[in-house]
Amino acid sequence: MLPFIEQQPLYNGWNFSNGFDNLYSSTARSATILSCLLCPADIIPQNPVQNGTSNEWYGITSYGGNAGSQSHPFSAVTSDGIFFYTGPAAPGFSQVRISDVTDGLSNTLFFGERNHFDPNYDSFAAPGWTFFSQTMGMWGWWASSSGGYGLSDVAESTYAPINYQVPISYATAIASGLSQSVFTASYEIPRVNSFGSLHSGGANFALADGSVRFITYTSDPLMPALASRAGDEPVGDF
């Protein structure tokens, strides 16, 4: 996409033969901040971010592709949306063509917003309860990355409602006896999956026909139908 968003020099300098060559240092190509991929309403504490204790650096984006019904963790990723694993790592799954979107391009999500503000989620990071001890502001790398969790950065899903946030803090979880495994399954996985924004009432989405719509919280029951490309579900007004 880089040449189409006025980033031809960045594209020309990208090392496609050795992806890791693009990552190392805070001034690496992957650490480039792309203003066109940032929503003014999104709160991103740090940009670019460092990948844990490694020397890999990534720019954060406010948007993610539609992975359908689940985009995180990689072991549970579905293939009913537009973005998902393909190639040798996912035999049997091919890239999506326009003809594969049988629900109609105007009824299928393409991209959507990601909300990085979640103080409760962040309270679980320091004790190491979140994936790789990341805060919410560290999810959403725009660049290619290594490992199965890369899709969690570049895609989202309708596994959780629009703008879902973790409802309890780490202190509350400890006081109530909540285990880390329950936190992961009940709160963290839905949070990393979710579309969302800091706009009042909903979030912006690009549909597969190229149009852009602001979809409100009241449309949440329709979101699974909008996320699937070939589910043959009724969509109605949204």
pLDDT at 119 over 80: yes
Task: Enumerate residues 6+ apart whose C-beta is below 8 A from 33.
Answer: 47, 48, 59, 60
For residues 118-122, average pLDDT: 98
Q: How far is CA 229 from CA 72, 106, 133, in A?
A: 18, 10, 33
Yes or no: say if 223 and 157 are a contact pair by the CB < 8 Å rule: no
DSSP H stretches of helix in the chain: 8-12, 119-123, 150-154, 170-176, 180-183, 189-193, 223-227
Up-side HSE of residue 98: CA atoms within 13 Å toward CB? 6
Residue 185 DSSP class? I
For residues 54-68, average pLDDT: 93
Query: How does pLDDT run across 16-34, given as a tens digit for each residue?
Result: 888 888 998 889 999 999 9
Yes or no: say if 140 and 116 are a contact pair by the CB < 8 Å rule: yes
Classify residue 52 as exposed, middle or buried by CB count within 10 Å of its CB (0-12, 13-18, 19+).
Answer: exposed
| Spans of all domains in the chain | 61-227
**Amino acid 204: pLDDT:** 96
Query: How does pLDDT run across 146-156, given as a tens digit for each residue?
Result: 666 678 899 99
**Amino acid 19: pLDDT:** 82
For residues 171-198, average pLDDT: 97
**Considering the chain, what is the average pLDDT of its residues?**
92
**Amino acid 18: pLDDT:** 84
**Amino acid 192: pLDDT:** 96
pLDDT at 238 over 80: no
Q: What is the DSSP string of 96-132?
A: --GGG-TT-GGGSEEEEE-----HHHHHTTTTT-SGG
Q: 3-state DSSP call for residue 46? A: coil
For residues 176-186, average pLDDT: 97
For residues 176-199, average pLDDT: 97
Full-model pTM = 0.91
> How far is 113 from 58, CA to CA, in rounded Å?
18
